[in-house]
Amino acid sequence: MNAETITAAAAGSWKLGDLVVNRIGFGAMRLPQHGRALVADARASDRDRAITVLRRAVELGINHIDTAAFYFSSLRSANELINTALSPYPDDLVIVTKVGPSRDPSGEWLPEARPGQLRGQVEENLRQLGRDHLDVVNLRRQQGMESITEHFGALAELRHAGLIRHLGISGVTPEDLAAVQQIAPVVCVQNSYGLGSRQADPLVQACAEQGIAFVPFFAIAGAGRERGRTEPEPDELLAVAHAHGASTAQIRLAWTLHRGPHILAIPGTGNPDHLAENVAAGAIELSPDELASLESLNQS
């Protein structure tokens, strides 16, 4: 498999509301820094390399980029990098951002945002990205929140005002999804999900039944989350990867995409070679026997 000749179209497409995107997208969280993401002392990335990765992503057919204003290091902002690399934006490019959490200029996390503060977060994303509206805004559920309906309602008002085109939610439960749908349509749900980490299976199923995109994060990193993958890979996964001449990361992405046509992958990287490999994962076809072997990893 020659990763350099495969584009994001190989995985097929799905819709975020009325916006058609290829199922392999790009997550911008790791662009601004090296090593563990979203920590105050993260080492800034190489600016030129980050811009190269973004432009290469679009060349490879990626038209769905996931970002946030709180994705930054001491010198780099993911939104500013996206703006610099890709503006004026291609007509088919969909930029998805998220609000709720925030960080102060030093990188330290701030307390939970109140509903009335979400407009400021939306406007900050607009400013950094150089847009007059945001394609999709996800409300990220914060720890300790009893309900997300008031916060979601504040975003629904901004959607009505024309600042936001579509709404999504992140880090939620099926009950959250049902509750916010009484307020405004939901086009996507983002939760941690991947091979061996399937607590979100009920949400995956609920989204499938309703035609809502499910967008897993940490599909490769698993429990390593912002640190990246840290545990040794199981033999079953190594065997499938060897059979396809692929990396275990590619097989993890391929397995995720096999979970349903409504699933969109957003792997992130600051490495151009890894970017091409992630895109190529969308062309990997796993056999029923391979899927059964990988399924056993979810039973352990």
How many CA atoms lie less than 13 Å away from 265 in the CB half-sphere?
34
Residue written as token pair 């407009």: 119
Helix axes 47-59, 272-280, angle to 10 degrees: 20
Both tokens of 140, joined, read 């990220």
- State the DSSP H helix or E strand holding residue 248, giving kind and residue range, or none if neither: helix 248-257
d(CA 49, CA 28): 13
- In contact, 89 and 48? CB cutoff 8 Å: no
Q: Which of 14, 26, 70, 71 is catalytic?
A: 71
Instruction: Tell me the β-bridge partners of 66.
Output: 27, 96
- In contact, 293 and 262? CB cutoff 8 Å: no
**Torsion sign over Cα 173, 27, 115, 40:** positive
Q: Is 71 a catalytic residue?
A: yes
| Catalytically active residues, by annotation | 71
